[in-house]
Structure 1
Amino acid sequence: MPTTTYGTLLTNGHGSNYHLEKEGTDDGPEKPKTKGLSSFAATLFIAGGMAGSGVLALPRAIVNTGYIGILLLAVFAFNSAYGGIRLGMCWSIVEEKFHEHRGASRNPYCVIATKAVGNWAGSLVSNCIRITLFGAGTVYLLLSSQILQSLLMNALPNIGFCTYFLIAAILVIPLIIVGLGASLTTVIACILFFTQIAFDAESRTRTVRHEIHGFKDFFMSFGSILFAFGGASFLPTIQNDMEDKRQFTKSVSIAFGIIMVIYFPIAVAGFFVYGEDVHPNVTLSLTKTLIVDIGNILIAMHLVFAFLIVMNTVVQDIEELFKIPRDFGWKRCAIRTSVVVCCIIVGETIPEFDKILSLIGGSTITLLTFVFPPYFYKKLCDREEPGWEKVRHIPLFERIYIWNLIFIGIIGGGASTFSAISAIAAVDSFTKPCWWHLFNDHSDGSLTDIDQHAAQTHIVSQLMP
């Protein structure tokens, strides 16, 4: 998924975005902008915003779906790019027909939904974005805690994952109050991880196993793969700030090409090198070396900064809802601390990031990336009312593709959501919440469920002769 929202990258710290100046008025056609993002810059923002924690879960997702998962990875990338491009076209139509939206817009996606379907659709999109960002933020905290535990495992062997998660959450509270920028370290980390996977492939002596997985595993992985491409919500904002908006399609296409160059090697290499032994977080399946440690440090930095960005969007919405003053004060501190506390409650209750990732990927991200963009595009193009001339013609083959995309998104996303909820509540795979051990464990020195799971799936000892 995307790990960032572009609107936050341009915030001034008080909830307002720095948008680029335009010439022209609401009564006349928009003139070329004197300043704005170039096509190259927009490409980097899209690729940097989307490429993130989702890549760590892809190898396990490909293993659970089998060889068809490799095809799904490419298909989902294409369909996500199509949805992003159509979302950009929706915003072009909105600007063309509604002059009041030609200037700065904090949440273009919600405006698109409102103009295409109605106010209820705008509210639905807004809530989906909030849930997605909150869920993604919790995933980032869980992943960064897991990586932190891996880095310090030898030095502090008696500290469990639940404790690391609580420490990480407490450490980010002052940061989210102050606010920090994001770090695009994913590419370097992925290169390091791929290098170690190649070394592990050379030293591996055991046969790689690939088993047939059932309905639940398949659709859990469906959600995981979609999570990796779930950055549709910030694409209209990037287009809105481009110097030449006609280049948006080109920027999206190139950006998704870059994302696939990052994702594909890690996903496929993890599938073929580790097979059934691969951990939901692929970094825990790598032989522990200096290369992996450096990559883990980089990805952990990225996850923490990404958490700050996505949560900044959520807390800004909450502050606006409760009319919290934009100046620094105790109310803003209380709101932002409360949001992190909510993340702690969710993370300590469901301490497995892959299940939350699948739940968010199969529900809100499927809607925001697969279902809403083509549907809103069709509604805007087909709109008929006095004074409204059709602005786009959708050919029959594209209409068929749109409805297939919507249908697959609803059915596949629904099945993925159901599978994720079932996995969270299933007796055979249920992981006891961290707080359960606080009240029921009497310090017998044993590992918690989540620590045992990590130890059982960490395959470093299996790589060596």
Structure 2
Amino acid sequence: MTSHLDEPLLRGKDEEEEKLQDDEVFNDVEEQRLLPRCSTGGASFYSNGSASFWRSCLNLSNVISGIGMLSVPYALAQGGWLSLVLFAMVGAICFYSGKLVDRCMRADRSVRSYPDIGHLAFGAVGRTAIGVIMYTELYLVAISFLILEGDNLDKLLPGTTVELLGYQLHGKQLFVLLAAAVILPTTWLKNLGKLAYVSAVGLIASMALTASLVWAGVAENGFRTGGGNLLNLSGLPSALSLYFVCFAGHGVFPTVYTSMKRSRDFPKVLLISSVLCSLNYTLTAVLGYMIYGDDVHAQVTLNLPTGKLYTRIAILMTLITPLAKYALVIQPITTVIEEKLKRSATTMPMPGNNGLGRVFTSTIIVITMVALACTLPFFGYLMSLIGSSLNVTVAVLFPCLCYLKIYMHRGIHRLEVAAIIGILLFGVCAAVIGTYTSLHQIIGTF
């Protein structure tokens, strides 16, 4: 049987249609025969493959959309109106790199995760490098969710104090703990088909947040039709980093891919999700900047006046978004740790099929995140750092490098190679400049 790698990526229209028909027959047979098993550096997991097309759209949209929406008005204020060109460019690059992740997943049926792609391309070194950076990125993003919850609940319920075991908990720390307690049960779910309902709630919350900004503009500040910076060169690195936060969910893409009943529909799911999220991001960025101008905060909800109904709605929606997104983000981390612990049963026995292993692993991970969220107050700078260093690496550099390594000797069109090299250069520059700027800002706060 001929391997997929032996076939050229670029075909004529008739050849492509014939190939798609052949693939449908082949995949229907193979998907019934093959166990969706993956070996991830000693850890293996099984995909249920239960998520339908539209549930997968919900899950992937929830991965792409999220807390990045709170920062896009601030990013626009940092870079100026012309930075929207960068926003569109970042969105297009991340969509294309998402398609490269899909092609890498289809290159070998043993590939079931992002580290598997690294192993297929660069061996054990590639698996380790991608695994470390991807899991670090997801871990920090999850921490930023808890920081977001703490900040907004503190604004919604200022002055709240609770005494627990002789200690007084108040402000952000109290609400981080409460948010973690609410989020924790969602991390115990493993089936992404069921998580689609949670994702739907998150997407509704995102749209309601945008509607709240419209309400605020009409009822309070009004919309500025003029003014604002056209271009702010000194703020472009921060703006670019935050734009990458909006689109970089690539570490979870393989999880959504392997959960689908028909994984070959992933490119369509990616397109629908990217377009919907891009429209919502753009609307939020423009509205936030038109209302608050250069005074917009790193979290636009912090600009809203206290006590107003639309402020309460906006903050409530902001609180719901991380709740709906958190489980998807940490699932790759939970899975790999859970399976590694199961393989180390001689030193640390772990329950196998009763689900207690996932409960134990998820709980420990959340506890460590709570501890860090209570000590990291720099939401805007943290998001900028994540976007400039880790998001760019996971969403741009790794997909391009792995795709070139896997497919180069099978034949890639020269124009595509040139485009990928250009994307790599852009990604490296964005990562270096953005990381330097973010670290400088964080150090300056001490």
The amino acid across from 2:400 in the alignment is P
Displacement, 1:195?
3.0
Q: So what's the TM-score if we normalise by structure 1? A: 0.73
Sort the Cα spacing of 1:172 and 1:316 in 2 relative to 1 into closer, same or farther, 3 A: farther
The amino acid across from 1:22 in the alignment is E
- Take 2:386 and 2:97, find their aligned partners in 1: how far apart are those partners? 18
- Take 1:352 and 1:153, find their aligned partners in 2: how far apart are those partners? 19
What are the equivalent positions in structure 2 for 1:55-70 lying under 5 Å apart?
Answer: 55-70=69-84
Alignment equivalent of 1:326, drawn from 325, 344, 351: 351
The amino acid across from 2:74 in the alignment is R
Displacement, 1:230?
1.4
The answer to whether structure 1 residue 120 and structure 2 residue 125 are counterparts is yes
Displacement, 1:58?
0.9
Identity %: 21
Check conservation: 2:203, 2:321, Cα contact below 8 A. Answer: no
- Take 1:186 and 1:247, find their aligned partners in 2: how far apart are those partners? 23
Sort the Cα spacing of 1:244 and 1:285 in 2 relative to 1 into closer, same or farther, 3 A: same
C-alpha distance after superposition, 1:378-412 (max 9, x if no partner): 111113xxxxxx2xx32222111100111111111
SS of equivalent to 1:136 = helix
Range with bigger deviation, 340-349 or 205-214 = 205-214
Sort the Cα spacing of 1:233 and 1:189 in 2 relative to 1 into closer, same or farther, 3 A: same
Structure 2 gap segments, 5+ residues each? 1-28, 36-48, 162-167
Displacement, 1:337?
4.9
Displacement, 1:365?
1.3
What are the equivalent positions in structure 2 for 1:39-54 lying under 5 Å apart?
Answer: 39-54=53-68
- Take 2:223 and 2:105, find their aligned partners in 1: how far apart are those partners? 53
Sort the Cα spacing of 1:173 and 1:276 in 2 relative to 1 into closer, same or farther, 3 A: closer
- Take 1:242 and 1:166, find their aligned partners in 2: how far apart are those partners? 33
Displacement, 1:205?
6.8
Sort the Cα spacing of 1:269 and 1:186 in 2 relative to 1 into closer, same or farther, 3 A: farther
Which position in structure 2 is the counterpart of 1:17? none
The answer to whether structure 1 residue 204 and structure 2 residue 236 are counterparts is no
SS of equivalent to 1:23 = helix
Check conservation: 2:209, 2:313, Cα contact below 8 A. Answer: no
Which position in structure 1 is the counterpart of 2:405? 379
Range with bigger deviation, 287-296 or 398-407 = 287-296
Check conservation: 2:63, 2:325, Cα contact below 8 A. Answer: no
Check conservation: 1:192, 1:292, Cα contact below 8 A. Answer: no
- Take 2:129 and 2:160, find their aligned partners in 1: how far apart are those partners? 47
Displacement, 1:177?
7.5
Alignment equivalent of 1:236, drawn from 250, 254, 257: 254
Which position in structure 2 is the counterpart of 1:167? 177
The amino acid across from 1:187 in the alignment is L
Displacement, 1:420?
1.4
Which position in structure 2 is the counterpart of 1:275? 293
The amino acid across from 1:295 in the alignment is A
Structure 1 gap segments, 5+ residues each? 1-19, 27-34, 96-100, 384-389, 431-465
- Take 2:271 and 2:184, find their aligned partners in 1: how far apart are those partners? 38
- Take 2:184 and 2:415, find their aligned partners in 1: how far apart are those partners? 52
Displacement, 1:84?
0.5
Which position in structure 2 is the counterpart of 1:12? none
Check conservation: 2:217, 2:291, Cα contact below 8 A. Answer: yes
SS of equivalent to 2:247 = coil
SS of equivalent to 1:184 = helix
CA RMSD of aligned residues (A): 3.3
Displacement, 1:134?
0.9
Q: So what's the TM-score if we normalise by structure 2? A: 0.76
Sort the Cα spacing of 1:165 and 1:381 in 2 relative to 1 into closer, same or farther, 3 A: same
The amino acid across from 1:45 in the alignment is N
The answer to whether structure 1 residue 290 and structure 2 residue 309 are counterparts is yes
Sort the Cα spacing of 1:204 and 1:154 in 2 relative to 1 into closer, same or farther, 3 A: farther
SS of equivalent to 1:274 = helix
Range with bigger deviation, 179-188 or 350-359 = 179-188
Which position in structure 2 is the counterpart of 1:250? 268
Check conservation: 2:152, 2:319, Cα contact below 8 A. Answer: yes
Check conservation: 1:188, 1:295, Cα contact below 8 A. Answer: no
Q: In proportion to residue count, which structure has more helix?
A: 2
Alignment equivalent of 1:399, drawn from 402, 411, 417: 417
Displacement, 1:66?
0.9
Check conservation: 1:219, 1:419, Cα contact below 8 A. Answer: yes
- Take 1:183 and 1:21, find their aligned partners in 2: how far apart are those partners? 29
Range with bigger deviation, 363-372 or 201-210 = 201-210
What are the equivalent positions in structure 2 for 1:43-122 lying under 5 Å apart?
Answer: 43-95=57-109, 101=110, 107-122=112-127
The answer to whether structure 1 residue 134 and structure 2 residue 123 are counterparts is no
Which position in structure 2 is the counterpart of 1:151? 156
The answer to whether structure 1 residue 344 and structure 2 residue 354 are counterparts is no
Check conservation: 2:64, 2:277, Cα contact below 8 A. Answer: yes
- Take 2:295 and 2:402, find their aligned partners in 1: how far apart are those partners? 42
Number of corresponding residues: 383
- Take 1:178 and 1:81, find their aligned partners in 2: how far apart are those partners? 30
Displacement, 1:209?
6.1
Displacement, 1:235?
2.1
- Take 2:297 and 2:368, find their aligned partners in 1: how far apart are those partners? 27
Alignment equivalent of 1:193, drawn from 200, 209, 222: 209
- Take 1:255 and 1:246, find their aligned partners in 2: how far apart are those partners? 16
The amino acid across from 1:228 in the alignment is C
Range with bigger deviation, 80-89 or 173-182 = 173-182
SS of equivalent to 1:150 = helix
Which position in structure 1 is the counterpart of 2:245? 227
C-alpha distance after superposition, 1:53-76 (max 9, x if no partner): 111111101110111321122111
Which position in structure 2 is the counterpart of 1:446? none
- Take 1:88 and 1:306, find their aligned partners in 2: how far apart are those partners? 22
Range with bigger deviation, 171-180 or 277-286 = 171-180
